[in-house]
Amino acid sequence: MSKTIPPDIKEDLEKAAILHQRASSDYEQCVQFNKLMSDILGRLEDAGCYKTADKVMGILLDCNPKQGAQCEKATRIGEKMKKF
Per-residue pLDDT of 3-45, as tens digits, reads 789 999 999 999 998 888 877 677 888 889 999 999 999 999 9
CA distance 32 to 24: 11
What average pLDDT score do residues 51-57 get?
94
Chain segment 64-73, per-residue pLDDT in tens:
777 766 677 7
Dist CA 36 CA 59 (whole Å): 12
Q: Global pTM?
A: 0.82
For residue 69, the 8-state DSSP code is: S
Q: How many domains, in total, are found in the chain? A: 1
Does any domain span residue 2? no
Domain assignment present for residue 47? The answer is: yes
Q: What is the pLDDT of residue 70?
A: 66
Whole-number Å distance between alpha carbons of 4 and 19: 23
DSSP 8-state code for residue 72? T
Whether 1 maps to a domain, the answer reads no
CA 73-76-79 angle, to 5 degrees, is 145
Q: Which domain holds residue 55?
A: 7-82
Taking residues 33-59, what's their average pLDDT? Answer: 95
